Structure 1
Amino acid sequence: MSGRWVPERPEDVAAVFAEADFPWWIAGGYAIELAVGRELRAHGDLDVLVLRRDQARVRDFLAGWDLYVADPPGRGELRPWCSGEVLRPPLHDIWCRRTLEAPWSVQLMLDEAEGTQWVSRRAPEVRLPVDRLGRTSETGIPYLAPVVQLFHKAKATREKDETDFEAALPLLDAAACVWLANAINVIAPGHPWLRRLPPVSKT
């Protein structure tokens, strides 16, 4: 994938999505910063998570933007996301810029849901009620709950993910820690973060 990235700020994204008729959450490292209430590090992009079932409304809402889907995911290829096109798994990663000449500024991520349950696209047995998927910052910006964001980061942990884990861990209550430990054990048994979390439940 090519092109220059100049990520939007969370407050700018919140202004764009202020009238959205679907749920959305700032994700990635910015979600952790919104949770802890301070900047932690530099960011190369800005992620926004939406539910796959809302994609038609998302596409219509961003009709004035230049939108490209990573197809196949993670292989370095982009193609336009055409109006009316339904993106099915495994497609989930959409690059967004305000105009054709503008830098990339938002990365949309499509996640799965069944009824009232969010379902991890990496491991369908990992679930959480949709109404517990996010939080709202003091300034009114929706962001992905730290426990869910840390689960996403656990699969291929980088230095920046360690920074985010250390910052977010004190925010997790006992129930969140148990959920995270069980979820990480599904995708990465033996992950070093598990030593900092409660023992994995056997039930």
Structure 2
Amino acid sequence: MRKDINNWVPITVPEVCAVFSEIPVIWCIAGGWALDLYVGKQSRKHGDVDVIILREEQLTAFQYLSKDWTLYKAENGKLALWEKGEFLSSTNDIWVSKNSNSPWAFQIMLIDSNHDSWIYGREKSINRPMTDIIAKTKEGIPYLRPEIQLLYKGGSSEIREKDQNDFLTVFPLLTPQEREWLKASMQIQFPEGHVWVDYIENNK
């Protein structure tokens, strides 16, 4: 069990790409870095770097990563060692470091899928074809599409200041189709209304 949750010295996005390019799973950069890859420049400082993989491919990822890294499952505010052969069915979040004493290097988020479709964990009626959730930079770096990443940020129980700033930074660059998908998805998750839905409506 580790409690040093603020002990972050994240590796760089190119370093993450070098790690995952050797692993035969579907993956992409997520979080704030995904939005910056879409924007084409770094818009703010990032405290960590997130990678998305499919829940069904987690044991393959573990097999490759555990050769060089120590992996911890993060759930209910606790960090516990992820053991070999352990399938994480409820945990969505994995923290990775070189060893049990070294700083956190990157974070893995497990996402659910059904056949060839991505499923949004907070509202399972929201889904997209797997081929339509990942974009790539001109250098070939895969990242989660901006409207999906913004759904994760805006669909959280609390919109943090950095998430609000990310939304305001990225929104002007979204295509009409991306804006409409984000609005429609948020209306499904929040039928009672959401400030981002109002913003999209008022900024067509």
Using the size of structure 1 for normalisation, the TM-score is: 0.91
Indicate the residue corresponding to 1:123 in structure 2: 123
| Mapping of residues 1-203 of structure 1, within 5 Å | 1-3=3-5, 4-64=7-67, 65-70=69-74, 73=75, 75-89=76-90, 91-154=91-154, 155=156, 156-188=158-190, 189-198=192-201
1:35-70 CA distance string (max 9 Å, x none):
001111111111111110111111111012100001
What is the root-mean-square deviation of aligned Cα atoms in Å?
A: 1.5
Structure 1 gap ranges (5+): none
C-alpha distance in structure 2 between counterparts of 1:170 and 1:17, whole Å: 31
C-alpha distance in structure 1 between counterparts of 2:29 and 2:110, whole Å: 12
1:57-84 CA distance string (max 9 Å, x none):
11111012100001xx2x3211111111
C-alpha distance in structure 2 between counterparts of 1:138 and 1:168, whole Å: 18
**Identical positions, percent:** 36
Give structure 1 regions of 4+ aligned residues with deviation exceeding 6 angstroms. none
1:142-188 CA distance string (max 9 Å, x none):
11100110000002211111221122112322222121111112333
SS of the aligned residue for 2:113 comes to: strand
Which amino acid in 1 is paired with 2:130? Answer: V
SS of the aligned residue for 2:8 comes to: coil
Which amino acid in 2 is paired with 1:68? Answer: Y
C-alpha distance in structure 1 between counterparts of 2:21 and 2:177, whole Å: 31
Using the size of structure 2 for normalisation, the TM-score is: 0.90
Deviation at 1:8, TM superposition (A): 1.5
Conserved 8 A contact 1:178-1:198: no
Deviation at 1:198, TM superposition (A): 4.7
Of 37-46 and 181-190, deviating more is 181-190
C-alpha distance in structure 1 between counterparts of 2:133 and 2:11, whole Å: 22
C-alpha distance in structure 2 between counterparts of 1:12 and 1:80, whole Å: 23
Structure 2 gap ranges (5+): none
1:98-128 CA distance string (max 9 Å, x none):
2233200111100000011100111101111
SS of the aligned residue for 1:5 comes to: coil
SS of the aligned residue for 2:104 comes to: coil
Q: What is the aligned length?
A: 195
C-alpha distance in structure 2 between counterparts of 1:98 and 1:26, whole Å: 19
SS of the aligned residue for 1:32 comes to: helix
C-alpha distance in structure 2 between counterparts of 1:131 and 1:87, whole Å: 24
Which amino acid in 2 is paired with 1:138? Answer: K
